[in-house]
Structure 1
Amino acid sequence: MGKLNGIQKRGRKKHVNRYHSLYLTVVLICFSLFISIAIASFDYRKVQDQLRLNHENEIDMIGDTVVQSLHTIDQVYKITDETTANKMEENTAILLEHYEQNPFFGEWDFAQLKKQFGMDIFIIDDNNIVIHSSFEQDLGLDFDECCGSFGKRLHERRISGDFYHDGMDIHQATGEIKKFSYMATPDRKYLLELSASLENDNIFNRFNFLETIAQLEKDYAPIHSIHVYSPNGIILGYTDKDGKSKEVLDDMRPVFLEARRTGEPKEAVRTEEQGIVTYRYIPYVADADQELPMRRIVEIVYNEAELEGLLKFYRDEFIYQQLIIVIAVILLAIIIGRLIAKPIHLALHDSLTGLKNRAAFEMEIRKRLSRKHEHVALMMIDMDNFKQVNDRLGHAEGDRILVETAKIIQKVVGDKNVVARIGGDEFVVVYSNVTREEQTKIASSLIQKLNEVYKELNEQLHAEVSISIGIAYATNNEQLETLYNRADKALYCAKENGKNQYRYYETTMNAY
């Protein structure tokens, strides 16, 4: 019988240790996974943000490079284009002489004049309409209708009668980059306009922003195209096979106009054959100090395929890292759990019975006493005449009786209540929100069931092994020490009055 009980005791200990080992392992796994995944996720988010920032900075840098290239050539022309401007003024003077000799433009040989000047000639009437030109495609062009405020500026130049020349500009019909000059006839009826191509000019070739754009398109994979537009939406330096200019896309024009109106970069997304692309429009003012500042809009069309590829690469890497982390954490937690579960368990549990020990009991009851609206009761159990068991049958049998007693107590009081062994043959039970009637039933049941267990033992020893019980209910804000003392006095009273019984604490017991 003793041998069998020893085997049962070892089996019970092994089960408890396994439970706590499993519990600790699960806690370690959850905690470690939370920390590891949180850190990895934070790092992954930082990588994502950095990739997007790098992509955005790259697009910004490309835009800045184009704007700077435009600014450079504009400044160079501002300083060095006197030769072209002087030549245009000389040619204009020849046209004025020609006008004084023959004011009938229909009789002029514009083709011959173009050949002579190396420039196109345009005659603009007082309604700002091109009525004669060496470039026939522009006949009928209405500056008031097509060019907004520039039409007003032409009226002012006509009234002034002075010679004007602008910086680098665009020929609307062809998109060719040119320089334009204007001067009114003496009768102020007409404006004589000349246009000189800059695309074969030495200065333009040296500071060619179109070459800069082509190089950027080549060097940066996300870039589909870069164009520079006039305020009217015509691409500078672009002429199709028919010699015509190209305008901003119809569905992008609202974004283009918004960027022109606000003076701030604007973006829109568009689905094309090659996928989803973004159109960014960056406004640029060539020289705010000029009489007529040249306004342009830089268009950058780019995709995020490279960015998405990098994000996918790091996302896959993140997933692989998480799998490795999960496996490593689980293995590590199992190892650590097995190594420290037993010491932790023993630190808070009685090594013989598997019940909680005094340290665990005190932590638990202090925690319950600190809670508001929780009615705590303490039951103290002491075995009567247990010394006779050890003296007559030996400590091994005494241990068996203690284990069996602990088992009965735990079974009767239930798992919701805390049972602890705090001394050789002393046990305590901590209750929460249990009525006096329920407490009485528990105490009576304990005495009855343990008497049945001790019956054979008492017959063998001719002794009276039993239990005595003392019960005390905690008052508001009561400390552990005072509650313990009151339960102890109730226990002492039960023993003094014949043992094998229970007693509730009463104030009259303070005399003990």
Structure 2
Amino acid sequence: MMMTVFSVLLILLLSLVNMNRMSQELIEDHDTKIELVEMNIVQVLKDLDQAYAIFDNSIAKVMENNSMELLKQYEKNSNFNEWNFKALKNELGMDVYIINNENTIIHSSFQKDVGINFSQCCKEFSELLDDRRISEGFTHDGVDIQQKTGELKKFSYLPTKDQQYIIELGYDLKNDEIFNKFNFLKTIEELKEKYEFIENIAIYNNDGYLIGESSPEGNRLGVDRRKYLEWLEDDEDTLLFSDTYKGKDVVYKYVKYHSDESRGHSTTRLVEIVYNEDAVQKELSKNKLAFIFQFVGTVILAIILAFLITKMVAKPMYLAFHDGLTGLKNRAAFESEVNEILMKRKKKFGMLLLDLDNFKVVNDALGHDKGDILLKYVAAYMKQTLPEDAFIARFGGDEFAIVIENISDQEELQKIACSIIDALNRPWINDCDSTSELLSQGNKILHSKNVTVSAGGVLYPNDGTDLEALYKHADDALYYSKSLGKNMYMYYGALEEKERSQQSL
């Protein structure tokens, strides 16, 4: 039983370790894929910024020339109401915006942007515009967005000399060769198609506006999440939290991106990766189910093996502490029992050694098989006569030993010894079953050859405090009882007192 329990516990431990390892591998694999998505997005943004830093000088130069022409036009006619912005766009191939000293777009070839007040929506950008208004120089940014549509554009800025306005140009990058070579929007779609767990990938500028396209939910990061824009200034590079996306439980991962090429307002971005954990949870559930089946199957196998092993080793283990003939405990078990009682050193106990008188006559006259029947009979009679908690052992041959705990004095020990001697002198009552028949034969053998019992007894701690002393003194008492004529009991203490009396005479 203990072996089976140990095997099951060991299997459970190993199975749990294995399940935990597999679960950890699944989670790590999922996390690795998320990191790969992150790395791909960041890398394509970096490549795009670096490419524009190197190759977009020609675009910037055209924008500068166009801005200077518009500045000349302003110096000739500062009344923007008389400007034809639609015609200017067709002529220049770029959108034209006029930003006043309150950082509001008051005129534009892109009518949807007219009225945008940057001081209200985009505080950081508004401060940058104030600086550019007094710089008296041409500036241009990298990749940025059309605020109302999210479309990618490159913007340039040139203040008027009276510092009242900024002439802004917007160049559409949709068909730009550099952008199409490093198109992060295409990369996003490829990643969403490759990894089913990706729900959405979005990139926001540092004012929280979606870069690249118009979103059904709006082009700006939700109010409840704009607080993460402040996190862009913190040291941590990533941020994770759980939420819902289109009614589905997901994880939001925000990744901070700073361009190596600091070019205006548009080089700090927030990458938002929205992913579900359905696939990994499904695999974890399958892993758990596999663990249960594996554990149950292994436990069944372990129980079968333990049963077979137990059957193979049970008999040798039983015989190691039991007498094979009578079923009583053997000498090894007896010594272990006595030593265990001695270790407690709390209670008195009695020890009896018994020996069958004339047993050799039975073996010689009737044969060893009859002697075996007689030994079984004696063992059974002692079990019937003695208290249930008495420890009975056979040492081999016709020698028996008994340990009885909680004995108060020698008279009680004598009473038990004499009850055994008297019981073996009485006939066995046959109860008409196979066991009783066998024992009845033993009783007949015992009386036919005048077999009796001699016994010697000791008390702990009166007659010894260790196994060796107790056994020797009990054996001395047994030997003396036999020398007096057999079929009797002798207490070692009485024998010792008798010897002292004789010595005093």
Aligned to 2:436: none
Aligned to 2:395: 422
Residue 425 (structure 2) pairs with residue 454 (structure 1): yes
- Residue 460 and residue 405 in structure 1: after superposition, are their counterparts in 2 closer, same or farther (change >3 A)? closer
Q: For 2:240, give the aligned amino acid.
A: E
Instruction: Give, in angstroms, the shift of residue 199 of structure 1.
Output: 1.9
Which ranges in structure 2 are unaligned for 5 or more consecutive residues?
A: 428-442, 501-505
Aligned to 2:294: 321
Q: For 1:138, give the aligned amino acid.
A: D
Q: Is the 8 A contact 2:354 2:399 kept in 1?
A: yes
Out of 353, 372, 379, the position equivalent to 1:381 is 353
C-alpha distance in 2 between matches for 1:210 and 1:390: 104
Q: Is the 8 A contact 1:408 1:450 kept in 2?
A: no
Q: Is the 8 A contact 1:172 1:245 kept in 2?
A: no
Q: Write the deviation string for residues 101-129 of structure 1: whole angstroms up to 9, x where unpaired.
A: 11222222221222222212222222222
Instruction: Give, in angstroms, the shift of residue 206 of structure 1.
Output: 0.7
C-alpha distance in 2 between matches for 1:225 and 1:462: 102
Aligned to 2:489: 501
- Residue 510 and residue 231 in structure 1: after superposition, are their counterparts in 2 closer, same or farther (change >3 A)? farther
Out of 109, 127, 144, the position equivalent to 2:119 is 144
Residue 383 (structure 2) pairs with residue 403 (structure 1): no
Q: Is the 8 A contact 1:175 1:235 kept in 2?
A: yes
Aligned to 2:438: none
Q: For 1:80, give the aligned amino acid.
A: F
Q: Is the 8 A contact 1:260 1:297 kept in 2?
A: no
Q: For 1:485, give the aligned amino acid.
A: K
Aligned to 1:359: 332
Out of 206, 213, 222, the position equivalent to 1:231 is 206
Out of 135, 152, 160, the position equivalent to 1:177 is 152
Q: Is the 8 A contact 1:378 1:472 kept in 2?
A: yes
Residue 173 (structure 2) pairs with residue 198 (structure 1): yes
Q: Is the 8 A contact 2:258 2:267 kept in 1?
A: yes
Aligned residue for 2:88, secondary structure, equals helix
Aligned to 1:186: 161
Identify which range, 199-208 or 451-460, moves more after superposition. Answer: 451-460
Aligned ranges 1:89-488 → 2 under 5 Å: 89-239=64-214, 246-249=219-222, 252-254=225-227, 258=231, 263-271=236-244, 275-287=248-260, 289-290=262-263, 292=265, 294-370=267-343, 372=344, 374-375=346-347, 377=349, 379-387=351-359, 388-391=361-364, 393-411=366-384, 413-414=386-387, 416=389, 418-430=391-403, 434-436=406-408, 441=412, 444-456=415-427, 460-461=447-448, 463=450, 465-473=452-460, 479-488=466-475
- Residue 165 and residue 415 in structure 1: after superposition, are their counterparts in 2 closer, same or farther (change >3 A)? farther
C-alpha distance in 2 between matches for 1:509 and 1:165: 123
- Residue 155 and residue 471 in structure 1: after superposition, are their counterparts in 2 closer, same or farther (change >3 A)? same
Q: For 2:277, give the aligned amino acid.
A: E
Which ranges in structure 1 are unaligned for 5 or more consecutive residues?
A: 1-25
Q: Is the 8 A contact 1:225 1:301 kept in 2?
A: yes
Instruction: Give, in angstroms, the shift of residue 375 of structure 1.
Output: 4.1
Aligned to 1:8: none
Instruction: Give, in angstroms, the shift of residue 354 of structure 1.
Output: 0.9
Q: Write the deviation string for residues 430-466 of structure 1: whole angstroms up to 9, x where unpaired.
A: 456x2425x8546523531442233346993574712
Identify which range, 122-131 or 489-498, moves more after superposition. Answer: 489-498
Aligned residues: 481
C-alpha distance in 1 between matches for 2:336 and 2:311: 24
- Residue 460 and residue 482 in structure 1: after superposition, are their counterparts in 2 closer, same or farther (change >3 A)? closer
C-alpha distance in 2 between matches for 1:89 and 1:240: 32
C-alpha distance in 1 between matches for 2:218 and 2:4: 67
- Residue 410 and residue 306 in structure 1: after superposition, are their counterparts in 2 closer, same or farther (change >3 A)? same
Q: For 2:120, give the aligned amino acid.
A: E
Please report the RMSD computed on the Cα atoms of aligned residues, expressed in angstroms. Answer: 3.2
- Residue 71 and residue 462 in structure 1: after superposition, are their counterparts in 2 closer, same or farther (change >3 A)? closer
- Residue 449 and residue 234 in structure 1: after superposition, are their counterparts in 2 closer, same or farther (change >3 A)? same
Instruction: Give, in angstroms, the shift of residue 50 of structure 1.
Output: 0.8
Aligned to 1:11: none
Q: For 1:357, give the aligned amino acid.
A: N
C-alpha distance in 1 between matches for 2:101 and 2:350: 110
- Residue 440 and residue 200 in structure 1: after superposition, are their counterparts in 2 closer, same or farther (change >3 A)? farther
Q: For 1:107, give the aligned amino acid.
A: E
C-alpha distance in 2 between matches for 1:440 and 1:225: 95
Identify which range, 494-503 or 66-75, moves more after superposition. Answer: 494-503
C-alpha distance in 2 between matches for 1:385 and 1:210: 107
